[in-house]
Chain A
């Protein structure tokens, strides 16, 4: 029996939209990391400096660099990148949650239509067919009329139509599930 959590894992590996939002998140995270590294070079701090004098002598010592807060030293860019990362993450999570919910719905539909098909296949259609057999016997025995017989035949056809309808909906739900997961799923996995 298929489980939502397993299918969601599959979806994360195969669903194009999830892959896209995932990669978008990664890309914005890389951008942010790169910007952080770059901007950090311009940050205030105490450093060990080494300088070569014209005499060829090396002077070593502590250096103090200061950033004056009246200038933008990359804070805006970092904030924007951080916001983009958060947005990407949110998009991804939202997509993930939405996919999970839709998978659950699709599974529920599949299960429901499967039960309906089973009910029709194993119970209702044989029952109506049996009713029709008995009705034919009764008709041929002059116990009931043609119109009553046709009414029973109509029920058999109606049950078959409902079977076709349920089968169509079953495969539509299955297709929806495969779209959500992004890959082919063996039907036998649902047994």
Chain B
């Protein structure tokens, strides 16, 4: 577990490394201005990072830079994305209830932007709505947002200027505010995941913002399976997974292996009496949900339950060929179209096998619909799917490899089905 002191030292080191381009001379070992001395478990952002900060005149100072950069969803698909500080989502902003924050926002895009602090209670003029609460931040300008944090919870940030385009291009991030008072039932590990959707047409390198429903990629932290980093934990630990949704669909997020408790949202951590046990929780568009559970050993999937959202690029107007004997027509089509490979008579499972075997060359910059290898073979997944890897003992925070089911705890094959078995 990383304690607060380590976190602050880490943040200061990042500042010294030049990530924050403010006045270096004023950097100092940060202390919370509220006098809050309680430790908190820093949030882990898989495939991402927490935004460094420094203390100045009792204010936590952050610097967000809106800009364009190359982004990879998984090996095989790269785009020109927009985001903050070189990543989409932008780095997670993390602070403590009672802090006063000063957030510098530099616009390196070619068009005006703002930052809206989604769900935060703040003065009207800090809400970041272009034209309404402020003039937009023009290219090359740096503006400052400064406000006290008077709440805690799982929040998000995103532009509120040319919002449809800028969000479609990847501009968003999470804003986690830890409670000032130590939590009852504290968590040992705290993960932050942000859901999004993308329209990356085959062979293209720019998200298409005009798409409203037919998205190609469904992402957690702007990554798709199998490139989404696994969440790791040790057996018996209390784990929180904070999930925010800035996509254009609701996502019923399902967790295997546990009944998690829904313990909070952008409204903060709820009173325990309001917690409820679930295995699937819908995270609506613009909502956040905190899911907590006691870790049990295994490699447990966590994924959206909309099954098309756990696929990568695929067509949504394909003729249904399940049960269709295509042999004769396939020969005739192949005569017209060299390289034609009929599929889907018995299902789509062979799709990944063909791709993994190198039989199928896909379009440029396009991920196959399904992929990923588990311990026992192809997993045939994509999109919003990753794993929570729980071990009795972890060696560091990195991926511990595949879980080996103990003897007698794994499904097995039989040669003969008992005759008297009712069915």
Chain A 138-155 per-residue mask, 1 if CB under 8 angstroms from chain B, else 0 = 111111111101100100
Determine the distance from Cα of A141 to Cα of B313 in the docked complex, in whole angstroms.
8
Determine the distance from Cα of A99 to Cα of B104 in the docked complex, in whole angstroms.
82
Q: A146-B319, A147-B319, A150-B333 are in contact. Are A141 and B340 (CB under 8 A)?
A: no
Contact of B343 with A142 in the complex, beta carbons under 8 Å: yes
The contact of B341 among A132, A134, A140, A147, by CB within 8 Å, is A140
Contact of A143 with B314 in the complex, beta carbons under 8 Å: yes
Asked if A136 is at the interface of the complex by the 8 Å CB criterion, the answer is: yes
Residue of A nearest to B319 (CB): A145
Q: Which of A135-187 contact B (CB under 8 A)?
A: 136-147, 149-150, 153, 157
Asked if B280 is at the interface of the complex by the 8 Å CB criterion, the answer is: no
Residues of A near B343 (CB, < 8 A) are: 140, 142
Residues of A near B342 (CB, < 8 A) are: 146
Asked if B369 is at the interface of the complex by the 8 Å CB criterion, the answer is: yes
Chain B 359-402 per-residue mask, 1 if CB under 8 angstroms from chain A, else 0 = 01111001011000000000000000000000000000000000
Q: Which of A95-154 contact B (CB under 8 A)?
A: 132-134, 136-147, 149-150, 153
Contact of B340 with A143 in the complex, beta carbons under 8 Å: no
The contact of B340 among A134, A139, A145, A157, by CB within 8 Å, is A139
Contact of A143 with B339 in the complex, beta carbons under 8 Å: no
Q: Which of B329-355 contact A (CB under 8 A)?
A: 333, 336-343, 348, 351, 354
Contact of B318 with A142 in the complex, beta carbons under 8 Å: yes
Chain B interface residues (CB < 8 Å from chain A): 202-203, 313-315, 317-319, 321, 333, 336-343, 348, 351, 354, 360-363, 366, 368-369
Give me 17 other A-B pairs in contact (C-beta within 8 A), A136-B338, A137-B361, A144-B318 excluded. A132-B337, A134-B203, A134-B363, A136-B337, A136-B339, A137-B202, A140-B340, A140-B354, A140-B360, A140-B361, A141-B202, A141-B366, A141-B369, A142-B318, A145-B319, A147-B319, A150-B337
Can you list 20 A-B contacts (CB < 8 A)? Answer: A134-B202, A134-B203, A136-B340, A137-B360, A137-B362, A138-B363, A139-B340, A140-B341, A140-B354, A141-B202, A141-B362, A141-B363, A142-B314, A142-B348, A142-B369, A143-B313, A144-B318, A145-B319, A146-B333, A150-B336
